[in-house]
């Protein structure tokens, strides 16, 4: 089932309520009886709301989406004529009630003595205007909901591109360790199973408790520590004020994964990674800094697909409420991410 960006029923009711109030205030100034204005506005809105909302949402919008413009023109004209008939019927009803003394006479509903051409033009313009307003309103709702679907698809795609090469690297490392150190390979496999469990049961959730996502980061770091042993120095700082706050899943892993991927690590060039994670109120700040190898290929980009994906994901989730600062030199790469959740 398509998820809706907004509560359609509530917005539609609000739309017609506004139409109703505007009609009431407009007609009250034109007639002698406020009750007559209220009755006319009520009957008109009840008659048009169900008819035009159904026709525009279920028929006209779908016709436009299928690009059948000739059919749309015919359907729009037909629904406008129906609106004209409702307008005309209610005008005649109110005029009849006034002539029979139910309400005081007013010029607003005196249509029996007008020129038939003027009456036709009046009702036709009313029907066309109302139908056009409802169509535009319904089309906007449909557009917003379609954008919601697109964004959800983009987020799903971006989220499932996170850490693909990490999985292969760990499994390959476990395979190598099985030949030399079965105990260490078993320990690494257990730690990695915790990461897979998190991704399996939480990866498709829209949001998760901050403390759970932080634990996932810690498990990831523990696996990398086992893999690289004494080839790098690792310093981590975790300051969580409220671990129950919810954030989207797999939001920070890319920055930490990139640090381990590009840090200088070899027998003759020991590197370092510093991770500083803070959550104070609604502000989350992650600072990740890693050393870079002085011997690395300068033409090779260190940004990668993962960083591009997380930037796109953050721009969708926290547009105007996040900041990514990157400071890169020949020997150091530092990224600072700040999010207002």
Same domain for 97 and 205, yes or no, is no
Contact predicate 43/121, CB 8 Å: no
pLDDT grade, residue 197 (50/70/90)?
Answer: confident
Residues in the chain: 341
Structural domain includes residue 155: no
User: What does pLDDT average to over the chain?
Assistant: 80
Contact predicate 92/109, CB 8 Å: no
pLDDT value at position 248? 84
Which of 54-58, 69-73, 150-154, 241-245 has the highest mean predicted lDDT (pLDDT)?
Answer: 241-245
Name the residue among 195, 292, 194, 213 with its Cα closest to residue 251.
213
Same domain for 185 and 128, yes or no, is no
Q: Specify the 3-state DSSP secondary structure of 231.
A: helix
pLDDT in tens, 82-97: 888 888 889 889 988 9
Number of domains the chain contains: 2
Q: From the CA atom positions of the chain, what is the Rg in Å? A: 32
pLDDT in tens, 220-279: 888 888 777 778 888 999 999 998 999 888 888 889 888 888 888 776 778 899 999 999
pLDDT grade, residue 198 (50/70/90)?
Answer: confident
285: left (phi over 0), alpha (psi -120 to 50) or beta: beta
pLDDT in tens, 116-132: 676 777 777 888 888 88
Q: Residue 228: which CATH number?
A: 3.30.565.10
Please state, in angstroms and rounded to a whole number, the distance separating the CA atoms of residues 291 and 328.
10
For helices 210-228 and 182-202, angle between their N-to-C axes, nearest 10 degrees: 150
Same domain for 172 and 30, yes or no, is no
282 vs 10, which has greater pLDDT? 282
Which residue range is the domain that position 308 belongs to?
Answer: 160-340
pLDDT value at position 4? 44
Structural domain includes residue 286: yes
pLDDT in tens, 32-67: 889 999 999 999 999 898 888 888 888 887 787 777
What is the DSSP pairing of strand 232-240 with strand 208-209? Answer: unpaired
Please determine, for residue 303, whether its predicted confidence score (pLDDT) is greater than 70.
Answer: no
Share of the chain above pLDDT 70, in %: 83
């Amino acid at each position: 089932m398509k998820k809706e960006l907004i509560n359609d029923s509530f917005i539609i009711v609000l739309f017609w309520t506004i139409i109703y109030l505007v009609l009431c205030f407009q007609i009250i100034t034109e007639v002698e009886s406020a009750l007559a204005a209220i009755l006319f506005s009520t009957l008109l809105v009840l008659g048009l709301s169900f008819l035009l909302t159904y026709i525009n949402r279920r028929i006209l919008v779908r016709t436009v989406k299928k690009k059948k413009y000739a059919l749309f023109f015919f359907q729009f004209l037909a629904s406008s004529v129906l609106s004209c008939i409702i307008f005309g019927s209610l005008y005649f009803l109110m005029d009849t009630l006034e002539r029979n003394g139910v309400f005081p006479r007013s010029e607003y509903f005196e249509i029996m003595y007008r020129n038939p051409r003027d009456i036709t033009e009046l009702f036709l313009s009313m029907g066309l205007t109302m139908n056009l307003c409802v169509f535009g309103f319904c089309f906007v709702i449909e557009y917003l909901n379609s954008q919601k679907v697109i964004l959800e698809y983009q987020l799903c795609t971006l989220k499932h591109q996170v850490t693909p090469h990490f999985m292969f690297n760990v499994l390959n490392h476990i395979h190598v360790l099985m030949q030399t150190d079965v105990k260490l390979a078993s320990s690494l496999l257990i730690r990695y199973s915790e990461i897979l469990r998190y991704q399996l049961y939480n990866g498709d959730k829209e949001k998760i408790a901050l403390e759970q996502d932080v634990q996932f980061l810690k498990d990831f770091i523990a696996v990398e520590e086992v893999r690289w042993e004494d080839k790098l120095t690792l310093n981590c700082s975790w300051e969580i004020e409220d671990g129950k706050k919810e954030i989207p899943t797999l939001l920070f892993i890319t920055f930490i994964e990139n640090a381990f991927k590009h840090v200088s690590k070899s027998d003759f060039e020991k590197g370092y990674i510093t991770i500083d994670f803070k959550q104070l109120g609604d502000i989350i700040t992650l600072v990740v800094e890693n050393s870079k190898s002085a011997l690395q290929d300068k033409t090779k980009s260190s940004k990668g697909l993962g960083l591009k994906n997380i930037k796109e994901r953050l721009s969708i989730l926290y547009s105007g409420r996040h900041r990514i600062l990157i400071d890169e030199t020949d020997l150091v790469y530092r990224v600072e991410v700040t999010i207002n959740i």
